[in-house]
Amino acid sequence: MSATVIPPSVHGIEEHRLNSGAISIMEQLNTAGYDAYLVGGGVRDFLLGKIPKDFDIATNATPEQVTDIFRRARIVGRRFQIVHVRVGPEVFEVTTFRAGHEGHKGSDAIQNEAGMLTRDNIWGSVEEDAKRRDFTLNALYYNHKDRSVYDFVGAWEDVKAKRLRIIGDPETRYREDPVRMLRAIRFMGKLPLTIDEKTELPIIDHGHLLSEVSSSRLFDEVLKLLQAGHGADTFELLWEFGLFQTMFPEASAILEAQQDSTYWDLIEQALENTDARIQSGRTVNPAFLYACLLWPAAHQRFKQYLQSGMEPTEAMAKAGAITVDANATTVAIPRRFAQVTREIWEMQLRLPNTQTRRALSLLRNPRFRAAYDFLLLREQSQEIDPGLGRWWTDFQVENPDVKPEREIHTREERPRKRRRQYRK
């Protein structure tokens, strides 16, 4: 298949605006006799008027050949082998051109019974690689040697129309990798795109395929979706297409059954706040995001345990532990974040105690700020009456020298805290 070649005078990408590290990698691959292209978001975002964050390179060099060229490089992944090449402080992904897996049997291309590719390491040509990519907008190849963009799948027309279109048969491609449905939502949430009808229609009917994806991988995908500066819009799209319900079944059931919009408002406000933080260059702790997303399930469990006569502290600890564990079948929160999520919830019971000595002790707690922010969200969503948040705001102003203590334990020094195990 011949490529449509878009010259610099048409595509408008100015090379001096590209990442110098990515250009250096392409030059070294070219010098070694290999083809190399900038591909994916590094090309797509420029053409759509956005500033790219990622600059990925595709080449006909195999992973082993790439590591022979670059001293600071290592092969990562088994399902989809890539090479991480470090240039200065930055790490770039270098992938080898891939071919279709059809007709290939053996350890390099494996599908499970649902049609999902569990391994995809069949090397091919740049033309074959373009067909293997998910969306046309991600299949534009920038050639540093002639500074042209190469299009093998009709992507240039989609760029001009600002249209999101999957490559190949949508249902087959979603079965091969269900995360492609999440990527479609992510692009729609962050870019000014309309989605092609054939790309859109199968998503609602195939959301259940996400259950084939590892729960740890979905944890990372949720962060990409909701912590990229467009979380509020993306959340609404996830809900509209039924994908949030697949990943967070308990919380979703409560959101759907709730008579008022309390929990919904809390999540939306949290995501709007998160978007503002990210767009202003500040960081966001994933534990806080998950504390908000799972709060409907944790809070309902907490209230049930209280009604059964359980003491509040134990009720919250048990509700938190079981909620996090229950959702791990779909989205597994790493232990280091899950513990913080539970502590944010548990501190909601301590914040109402405003006796001065206890209040000062809470101010020094490393989790105070997150718990305080969560309290404000509960007030803003009208889950609880206002007032306590204002008290804590004033108390911080009155005690400006009291700061949260940092956790300074090293891995070896950190005390092992055995948490109580709860039965479901």
Q: Does the structure show a pLDDT above 60 at 1?
A: no
The rounded distance, in Å, linking the Cα atoms of 145 and 240 is 44
The rounded distance, in Å, linking the Cα atoms of 347 and 339 is 12
CATH number of the domain at 255, please.
1.10.3090.10
> Do the domain assignments include residue 39?
yes
> Do the domain assignments include residue 85?
yes
60 and 159 together in one domain: yes
pLDDT in tens, 40-89: 999 999 999 988 988 999 999 999 999 999 999 999 987 789 999 999 99
Catalytic residues: 54, 56, 134
Domain closes at, from 121, 153, 176: 176
> Around Cβ 355, how many Cβ atoms within 10 Å?
8
Do 292 and 267 meet the contact criterion of CB atoms below 8 Å apart? yes
Percent of the chain topping pLDDT 90: 84
CATH number of the domain at 39, please.
3.30.460.10
pTM of the full predicted structure? 0.86
The rounded distance, in Å, linking the Cα atoms of 4 and 71 is 35
Looking up tokens 């991988």, which residue turns up? 217
Angle (CA) 128-131-133 rounded to 5° is 115
Residue 18: helix, strand or coil by DSSP? coil
The rounded distance, in Å, linking the Cα atoms of 190 and 10 is 25
Q: Does the structure show a pLDDT above 50 at 403?
A: yes
pLDDT of residue 260: 85
136 and 225 together in one domain: no
pLDDT of residue 413: 39
56 and 118 together in one domain: yes
287 and 170 together in one domain: no
Please state, rounded to an integer, the average pLDDT across all residues of the chain: 91
> Do the domain assignments include residue 158?
yes
Structural domain containing residue 382: 215-398
140 and 41 together in one domain: yes
287 and 374 together in one domain: yes
Average pLDDT estimate for 356-372: 96
220 and 164 together in one domain: no
Do 29 and 59 meet the contact criterion of CB atoms below 8 Å apart? yes
Q: Does the structure show a pLDDT above 60 at 263?
A: yes
148 and 231 together in one domain: no
Looking up tokens 């069949």, which residue turns up? 122
- 303: number of CA atoms within 13 Å, CB side? 5
> Do the domain assignments include residue 184?
no
Percent of the chain topping pLDDT 70: 91
> Do the domain assignments include residue 407?
no
pLDDT in tens, 83-110: 999 999 999 999 999 987 555 454 454 4
292 and 148 together in one domain: no
171 and 221 together in one domain: no
Q: Does the structure show a pLDDT above 70 at 409?
A: no
Q: Does the structure show a pLDDT above 50 at 11?
A: yes
264 and 151 together in one domain: no
Judged by average pLDDT, the poorest of 113-122, 300-309, 373-382, 387-396 is 113-122
Query: What are the φ/ψ torsions at residue 395 (nearest 5 degrees)?
Result: -65, -35
> Do the domain assignments include residue 124?
yes
Domain closes at, from 151, 176, 201: 176
